[in-house]
Structure 1
Amino acid sequence: MNHILLFLFIFSFSGCSSTQSENETQEIELTDVKYGSHDRNKMDIYLPANRNPETPFVINIHGGAWTVGDKSSDTSLSKYLLSKGIAVANINYRYANSTDTHLPELLDDVDQAFKYIIAHSKEWNTRSTGFSITGQSSGAHISLMYAYTKTDKIKAIVDRCGPTDFTDTNTLWQLDNQHLMDAVNQMSGNKTIWKEGDPIPELYTKSSPVKFVKNIPILIIHGDVDPVVPIKQSYNLIEILKSKNVIYKLLIFEGADHSLDALPRNSAKKLTSTADWINQYGKN
C-alpha cells in the first residue's frame, strides 16, 4: 500500500512539473485582466515563449491627454515587443477629471498594475523587479512621473513625445493654443486658469518630470514638428539628464507630428528602437 501511495505522489508531482514547464515555454496573451477596483483598471498581458525572471518586462501606458484614450491604440506595439521576446502589460487607467481623479490617482493605478504583475511573477515565471516602462504623449508623462517618484523598480524608460516641464511658459502657451489646458488642470488638480504672465501654479511644478529625474537610462522619441507637445519639452529633460549624468538617447523624427507615425519609416523605427532599448537596458 505504501509503495502505491509513493508511486501516486511521484506521478502527481511529475505531472505538475510538466504542466509548469509547458506553461513557461508557451507564448501567452491575456486580455482585459482586472488589476484594481475601478472599471478602467484592466490590462492586456503578453508573455513571450521560453521566458524566465530575467526576461525584460515593460509596462505600456497609452496617451490621450489624461482624459481619453485606450490601451487598444498600442496593441500593435505590444505584439511587436512580444515578438522580440519582451513581456508586456498594456494598461488602461482612470481618466483624470476636475473633481477627484488627478495625477496621484493615475499613478496609483499604475502602481496597482505593478503589484498585480509582481504577485503573479511566480505563476508566469516573470521578473518581480527591474521593469521597463514606456508611454506616448500623456502616457509618457505618467511613465516618467511613476519611474521618478513612485518606485525603485524601473530600470529603463522609453518616452515617446511626452510633456516633461509644465513650468515652461512657451509650452503652456502652445498647450493653451491646442485647447489642452483644461486637461492639464484636470491632470494636475490645479483649479485656477493660467494665463501668460501669471505665476506658474505649484501643482504644475509638482507634475513636471524634469523636477524629479532619477538615474534611469531613457530613450526619448520626438517629432520635430510636433504641434501639441513641442520638441523643446524633450530638450528641457535632456538638460537635466546631462547634469545628472543619466544615460539617454534622443531620436528626432524629421517631419513627424505628435502621432510619430506620419511616415511609414517612422512607425517602423519607433517599434525597433523601443525594443532595442528595452532589450539593452531592461534585462538582468
Structure 2
Amino acid sequence: MNYFKIAVLAIGLLATGCFTQNSGSTQIVSANQKQEKLTNIKYSSHERNVMDVYLPADRSPKTAFLVHIHGGAWTQGDKTYDTKISEYLLSQGIAVANLNYRYANLTDTHLPELLDDIDNVVKYLSSHSKEWNTRKNGFSISGGSSGAHVSLMYAYTRNPQIKTIIEMCGPVDFTDVQTLQYIKSANLLEVLDKMSGNKAVWSPGDKIPDAYVKTSPAKFVNQIPTMIIHGDKDEVVPIQQAYILENALKAKGVQYKMIVVPGAGHLITKLPEDEQTVFTNVAEWLKKYGTN
C-alpha cells in the first residue's frame, strides 16, 4: 500500500473518524428497570462537554459501562458519528457514554486537556452510579481513529482502573518515521501539533520531538486488556500502526486480541458485513472484560 497518497482523502476521513454515521434511538421498558437514553448531558463547563448516556434495562453495578470517544483528528467530529454502535451495544445490555470533548488547538488545548475532559466524564458517571444503578468504577473505554488514540492515552497514563480498551483504526506511535512522513505528506503535521503541543516543525532527518514521544500510546502500554480493530486497506492510519501496538502488548505480556478487517479502509464499518464484524466483536469483548 502507498501510504503517501491522497492527502485530501486523508483529511476528509480523519475528520469523520472510522465509523459511518447514524442517528435516532428507542426506549424500551422492562418489568424491572427501563432502558434509557439520556441526551446532551453536561459533564463539565466547556460548550463541547456534553454526552449521551445509554442505560440498558435490568442493569446493575456489574454491567459493562463503555466510555466512547469519537474520531475527527482531535480537531473535528461529533458524538453523533457513533450513535449506531452505541445503540447496538445498548441492545446487548452494555451501558455507553458517547461524548463530545474539546477540540485541540495550537494555543491552550492539547492532549492533557482532552484527557481532562475524559476524566470529568468518568467522574460524572461515577457520581451518578447510585441514581442509575450502574458501576462506580472499572469503566471500559473505546474510540475510533483519533478517539482510539485518546482512549489509549487515557487508560495508559491517567486511569489504570479502566477495565479494558477497544481501539479502532487509531494512530499509536508518532515516533515511527514512516508514519511521520505520511502525516507530513498529507499536510497533517499541524493537526498533530495541535494535539501534542509540539512547537517546532518536524522534517525528515530531524530528531523526533519530545511532544510526539509523550503522546504515543505504544510507549505507555500497561496491563489493561486491549482489543485492536483495523482495516488492512486503511489509507489514513496505516495498519503498521496496529502491528506496532500489538508488538508492544506482546512485549509486556498484556491480554489482547487483534482483528484485521480484510479489505476495509479507515471507515471500517462502511460495508454491512464489516460493521457486523466490528460491532459483534466489540460487544463480546466487553461482555468478557468489562463486567464484574
Q: How many residues align?
A: 263
Match of 2:281 among 273, 277, 283: 273
Partner of 2:79: 71
Letter of the structure 1 residue corresponding to residue 276 of structure 2: A
Letter of the structure 2 residue corresponding to residue 71 of structure 1: K
Letter of the structure 1 residue corresponding to residue 241 of structure 2: Q
| Greater relative contact order, per chain length (Cα 8 Å cut-off, separation 6+) | 2
Q: Which aligned runs of 4 or more in structure 1 are off by greater than 3 angstroms?
A: none
Partner of 1:37: 45
Structure 2 residue 240 is the aligned partner of structure 1 residue 232: yes
Partner of 1:96: 104
Structure 2 residue 193 is the aligned partner of structure 1 residue 199: no
SS in 2 for 1:249: strand
Match of 1:181 among 179, 189, 192: 189
C-alpha change, 1:181 and 1:174, in structure 2 (3 Å) is same
Partner of 1:82: 90
Partner of 2:15: none
- Provide TM-score, normalisation by structure 2: 0.88
Equivalent-residue separation in structure 1 for 2:247 and 2:216 (angstroms): 14
% identity of equivalent residues: 56
- Provide TM-score, normalisation by structure 1: 0.91
For residue 152 of structure 1, report the CA deviation from its aligned partner. 2.2
Structure 2 residue 224 is the aligned partner of structure 1 residue 216: yes
Bigger radius of gyration among the two: 1
Letter of the structure 2 residue corresponding to residue 142 of structure 1: V
SS in 1 for 2:213: helix
Letter of the structure 1 residue corresponding to residue 131 of structure 2: E
CA RMSD, Structure 1 to Structure 2 (Å): 1.2
For residue 254 of structure 1, report the CA deviation from its aligned partner. 1.2
Equivalent-residue separation in structure 1 for 2:105 and 2:240 (angstroms): 27
Structure 2 gaps of 5+ residues are 1-29
Partner of 1:262: 270
Letter of the structure 1 residue corresponding to residue 158 of structure 2: K
Q: Which structure: greater helix fraction? A: 1
Equivalent-residue separation in structure 2 for 1:88 and 1:260 (angstroms): 20
SS in 2 for 1:32: strand
Letter of the structure 2 residue corresponding to residue 106 of structure 1: L
